[in-house]
């Protein structure tokens, strides 16, 4: 019977700049990992290992520096929420800038190139274990329209993140026209259920999905989590409704018919 198993990898200590994540994970997972396993790793420990914990007295200023494009801004009693796009095309509140779990006067920024970070870790773990493993870098994202947050894949290596079923047929023989499950995000979500927020468990193992894990020869050609970012031209929600309305209003006001 097909089944999915997810469990936390216990025993990972504090990660600081320069920590070799591959080495740490290999040590705590000795004898645990199996061929086809997918490791779901919090972006937070990649960030720490890569020295992305930076001094900043001003969180808002740090967010501005990480922002490529402002998508929407909202003022509420607790302050201002900025939904922005970062250099990797990830759209997130506060550009993923994190101040939980960091010392006062510091902020934790997302890795510069999450797919590259995942690829390095994947190669390291494959080399040291001899196993065909996948790596997903997970971060917690809010969603338009829906309450709460889910974990999603912002980096990936060694594992397919989209399962393109278009052109295949279902059990009744009907053509599946639009089915492209975002399995990378679903795997990150499944792992979040056992990692928990408060416990601070940064790595989970997801087992039973080896069909999505690729061979060594395909590591470089398998698209990473960047392929989960919808291209701008296909994005119907590229701006917040208020921002788009305001831009339209200004353009309408400026476009008065000749002769007025």
Q: Which residue in the set 54, 70, 182, 219 belongs to the binding site for a copy of itself (CB under 8 A)?
A: 182
Q: How far is the CB of 223 from a copy of itself (least distance, A)?
A: 10
* CA-to-CA separations, 208 to 5, 62, 113, 214, in angstroms, rounded: 6, 40, 28, 14
Q: Which residue in the set 54, 70, 162, 219 belongs to the binding site for a copy of itself (CB under 8 A)?
A: 162
Q: How far is CA 138 from the centre of its chain?
A: 4
Applying the rule CB under 8 A, the residues between 115 and 154 that interact with a copy of itself are: 140, 143-152
Closer residue to a copy of itself in complex, CB, 64/150: 150
Using CB under 8 A as the binding criterion, the count of chain residues that bind a copy of itself stands at: 87
Q: How far is the CB of 121 from a copy of itself (least distance, A)?
A: 22
Q: How far is the CB of 256 from a copy of itself (least distance, A)?
A: 6
1: contact with a copy of itself by CB under 8 A: yes
Closest listed residue to residue 29, CA positions, set 8, 15, 14? 8
As a whole number of angstroms, the distance between CA 248 and CA 83 comes to 20
As a whole number of angstroms, the distance between CA 260 and CA 243 comes to 27
58: contact with a copy of itself by CB under 8 A: no
As a whole number of angstroms, the distance between CA 67 and CA 56 comes to 16
Applying the rule CB under 8 A, the residues between 190 and 229 that interact with a copy of itself are: 190, 192-194, 197-200, 208-209, 227-229
Using DSSP, state whether 248 is helix, strand or coil. helix
Q: Which residue in the set 17, 57, 220, 235 belongs to the binding site for a copy of itself (CB under 8 A)?
A: 235
As a whole number of angstroms, the distance between CA 29 and CA 12 comes to 10
Q: How far is the CB of 188 from a copy of itself (least distance, A)?
A: 9
């Amino acid at each position: 019977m097909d089944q999915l198993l997810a469990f936390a990898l216990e025993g990972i200590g504090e990660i600081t700049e320069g920590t070799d994540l591959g080495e740490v994970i290999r040590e705590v997972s000795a004898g645990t990992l199996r061929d086809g396993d997918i490791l779901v790793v919090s972006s937070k420990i990649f960030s720490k290992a890569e020295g992305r914990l930076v001094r900043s007295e001003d969180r808002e200023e740090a967010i501005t520096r990480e922002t490529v494009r402002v998508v929407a801004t909202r003022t509420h009693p607790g302050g201002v929420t900025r939904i922005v796009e970062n250099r990797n095309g990830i759209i997130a509140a506060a550009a993923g800038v994190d101040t939980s779990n960091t010392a006062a006067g510091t902020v934790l920024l997302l890795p510069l190139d999450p797919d590259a970070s995942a690829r390095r870790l994947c190669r390291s773990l494959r080399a040291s274990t001899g196993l065909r493993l996948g790596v997903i870098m997970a971060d917690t994202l809010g969603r338009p329209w829906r309450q709460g947050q889910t974990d999603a894949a912002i980096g990936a290596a060694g594992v397919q993140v989209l399962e393109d079923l278009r052109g295949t047929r279902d059990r009744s023989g009907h053509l599946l026209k639009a089915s492209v499950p975002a399995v990378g995000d679903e795997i990150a979500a499944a792992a979040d259920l056992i990692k928990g927020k408060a416990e601070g468990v940064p790595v989970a193992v997801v087992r039973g999905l080896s069909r999505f894990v690729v061979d060594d020869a395909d590591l470089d050609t398998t698209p990473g989590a960047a392929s989960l970012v919808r291209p701008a031209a296909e994005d119907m929600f590229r701006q917040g409704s208020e921002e788009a309305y305001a831009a339209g209003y200004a353009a309408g006001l400026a476009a008065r018919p000749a002769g007025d």
